[in-house]
Amino acid sequence: MRTIMHVDMDAFFAAVEVLDHPEYAGKPLIIGGRKDSPRGVVSTASYEARKFGVHSAMPIARAAILCPQGIFVPGRMKRYQEVSEQIHRVFPEFSPLVEPLSVDEAFLDMSGCEHFYPNLEAMGQSLKRRIKDVSGLTASVGIAPNKFLAKLASDFRKPDGLLILKAADVQRFLNDLPVGKLWGVGKKSEAVLHKHKLYYVRDLLPHSLPWLRERLGSALGSQVYHLARGLDERPVIPEQEAKSIGHELTFAEDHADFSFLRLQLAQMSEKVGWRLRSQGLHAKTVSIKVRFADFKTITRAQTLSFPFNDDDTIFREALHLFKQVKLEPVRLLGVTVSNFSVGAQMSLFSLEQENTSQVNEVMDKINRHFAPGTIRKGRSLNSDSTE
């Protein structure tokens, strides 16, 4: 029997804002944009704001109607990333087998580590306490015999929760769970199950594996059959090395204005370059992704003969690729670099490139010292600038 721990920070971005602005404590706080921002979407909301029905992915405008007294802040990704890294550095203290899932959550395979703690409750408390000490924030933790159950458990007592699901209690816990909570059951398969009057996990139990497979398809049918019985064999997979670094942006409206899109490419190239350099990497390939108004999505890539890590090369190649695409209204734009090498031989570079790399170094230093984006290249500041 395995022991899997799932940890997920509570109202993460909002909690970081409260940490840095104690005057926000206890108030309805909404992250993602200013109140009058017509395009913003809610990243997250404090638990106080959630009482008004505000939730992630909701348009800011809607949140402003539901919760007019809310405090609206645009969000500071760099700061959240920093706290995220603090938290993710804690996990390996508890287990060598950590699977980071997102900015604020991870699975830890604690099998074989149980004897370090008087009981599983103490194990969970110990992780929660360590996260609090390191970051000042609360996390919710679930401990269970597998990943599926551990994630359900951490969610169940949020915020600042801890739930241990023992094998003997699993079926009772699952029986009252809506079928939509089973992994893989989206809106479509939920509708199929509802059509058969199957609303809760307990309703699924009388149905055989072939019966579910026939209605949901072979793979999902089997998954639902097993999850409904609390069975999930998926291993905790330790972090894989990043194979690419990218940024993409979905626009609230479709854009066909070339100078606007070029500005977006310039800004994304800077972000990608910054991340590449902060990880000490060089890349050889630049790719762009373009999704059009009709959701048709294309990617284009260019591999260079030398490794690079400067914004200029990324932007130049991204722009070159973009110019070859027939301009139609664009819904999403992305820039990615891949094909990494660690460091690069400067001797291979021309003097010009060496100068560029010095400019980037100075800009990064300033941006690290002050806020990211304090100093930027002219072309990413407005759409009138030249290449």
Q: Roughly what angle, to the nearest 10 degrees, separates helices 77-90 and 120-135?
A: 140
Residues 4-23, interacting with Mg ion (CB under 5 A): 8-9, 12
Burial of residue 294, with CB atoms counted within 10 A of its CB: 0-12 exposed, 13-18 middle, 19 or more buried? exposed
Least CB distance to ligand TTP at residue 230 (A):
23
Catalytic position from the list 17, 99, 105, 317: 105
The residue among 76 and 316 lying less far from ligand TTP, judged by its C-beta, is 76
Least CB distance to Mg ion at residue 159 (A):
9
Residues that bind ligand TTP (CB under 6 A): 8-13, 43-44, 56-57, 103-105, 158-159
Least CB distance to Mg ion at residue 279 (A):
24
Which does residue 109 touch among ligand TTP, Mg ion, none (CB within 5 to 8 A, set by kind)? none
Least CB distance to ligand TTP at residue 32 (A):
7
The residues pairing with 178 across neighbouring beta strands, listed in sequence order, are 200
Cβ distance 289 to 299 under 8 Å? yes
The residue among 13 and 292 lying less far from ligand TTP, judged by its C-beta, is 13
Give the separation between CA 228 and CA 221, rounded to whole angstroms. 11
The residue among 1 and 57 lying less far from ligand TTP, judged by its C-beta, is 57
SS3 95: coil
Q: Which stretch binds Mg ion (CB under 5 A): 1-9, 80-88, 246-254, 278-286?
A: 1-9
Which does residue 56 touch among Mg ion, ligand TTP, none (CB within 5 to 8 A, set by kind)? ligand TTP
The residue among 148 and 308 lying less far from Mg ion, judged by its C-beta, is 148
- Tell me: cis bond preceding 159? Omega within 30 of 0 counts: yes
Farthest CA pair distance, the chain: 73
The residue among 152 and 330 lying less far from Mg ion, judged by its C-beta, is 152
Least CB distance to ligand TTP at residue 235 (A):
22
Which does residue 13 touch among ligand TTP, Mg ion, none (CB within 5 to 8 A, set by kind)? ligand TTP
The residue among 13 and 148 lying less far from ligand TTP, judged by its C-beta, is 13
Give the separation between CA 253 and CA 39, rounded to whole angstroms. 9
* Element spanning 308, H or E: strand 297-308
Least CB distance to ligand TTP at residue 105 (A):
6
The pair of three-digit structure tokens given for residue 216, joined into one six-digit string: 């949901």
By the rule CB under 5 A, 232 interacts with Mg ion = no
Measured in degrees and rounded to the nearest 5, phi and psi for residue 11 equal: 40, 55
Catalytic annotation on 105? yes
The pair of three-digit structure tokens given for residue 35, joined into one six-digit string: 């109140």
Cβ distance 4 to 150 under 8 Å? yes
Residues 62-121, interacting with Mg ion (CB under 5 A): 104
Question: CB count, 10 Å around CB of 83?
Answer: 22
Amino acid letter, 217? G
- Strand 139-144 relative to strand 4-9, pairing: antiparallel
Cβ distance 48 to 28 under 8 Å? yes
Q: Which residue numbers are catalytic?
A: 105
Residues in the site for Mg ion, rule: CB under 5 A? 8-9, 12, 104
